[in-house]
Amino acid sequence: MSTTLEVPTDPVTARELPYLTAVNEALAQSMRADPDVFVAGEDIAAYGGVFGTHRGLLEEFGARRVVDTPISEAAIIGLATGAAVCGLRPVVDIMFMDFLGVAMDQIANQAAKLKYMFGGEATLPMTVTTWAGAGLSAAAQHSQSLEAWLCHVPGLKVAMPATPYDAKGLLVAAIRDDNPTFVVGNKLLLGATGPVPEELYEVPLGVARTARDGDALTIVALGRMVPEALAAAERMAADGIEVAVLDPRTLSPLDVDTIVSSVRATNRVLVVHEAVRFGGFGAEIAAQVQEHAFDHLDAPVARVGAPFAPVPFSPALEREYVPDSARIEAAARELVTRRLPGA
């Protein structure tokens, strides 16, 4: 297997790849490097995956390592759990994150618990790729962002890549990890392009990325909200308001230190995610900030998220439902003017 590294990328000279291609390359290079890695899921073999993330794998690696499964998410997660316990490194795909509900017993009571139940003797090097988010008018059962479900279960790791670079590097890190790890992509990011090195590299799990420096406010954004937050920050910079944007990259483990360090420097924080605001993972980030940086806050922790309702089918309603850069900018500008009593 190739040496573990995070390759520094020169944005001027590095090749540009779509997010989708970066995922495909991570899978192919990992399978070449380790014969124990195989992929399985619905329509991933002959069809190449519903979003094209597995194209070309069947032709290169054959049907023993690229497996089309029945339409049973419980069976897919069960397959991964059993194969991982037996020493393989399965990478299984759940095409829509909403479908994790069908497999939650396997996820929460089997995969997440086996290492604990066997006193640490069992290892579960299994990876689950899944696709979240709205914006395709796919309606309420195919558009949800449910990462908070996974983060609430001890024993699982959860990554949310926001860039093609991280899509490849975090997926490679997940495949090499000896714990059940979910890599949650966003459907609307699949066409986004960015620099991606050709080498096989890891982006370490549990290390946040500072996407933009600033001193007026920290925005902690998850997944597809990272580019939306960056767009909002650029517009605010035109008015002399410099906003820091942090991308946690992984939610479990969460890089609390980097988040807290930024908040202590800017004294204000806005947490943004596409998921429903109530009970979303942003509440955990807000709690961590309150516990570790309360004395540094000049204003209350603010959050932007979707309303407490199913995702609408109607394109017009869906656009109103999903947070965007305009909504983030409005919340950030309001937060910059707010102050705690006595601050």
Enzyme catalytic residues: 142
Q: Are 211 and 247 in contact (CB under 8 A)?
A: yes
Token digits of residue 77: 């997660």
Cis preceding linkage at 8, omega within 30: no
In angstroms, what is the C-alpha Rg of the chain? 20
Q: Provide the 3-class DSSP secondary structure of residue 138.
A: coil
Q: Are 281 and 148 in contact (CB under 8 A)?
A: yes
The closest of 63, 66, 62, 55 to 23, measured between CA atoms, is 55
Q: Are 334 and 299 in contact (CB under 8 A)?
A: no
Q: Are 130 and 102 in contact (CB under 8 A)?
A: no
Token digits of residue 53: 């993330």
DSSP letter assigned to residue 258: H
* Cα dihedral: 278, 281, 286, 287 (round 10): 100
Distance CA 141, CA 146 (A): 11
Q: Are 266 and 217 in contact (CB under 8 A)?
A: yes
Residue 293 C-beta-side C-alpha neighbours within 13 Å: 26
Distance CA 269, CA 302 (A): 6
Token digits of residue 109: 């009571």
Token digits of residue 7: 């390759």
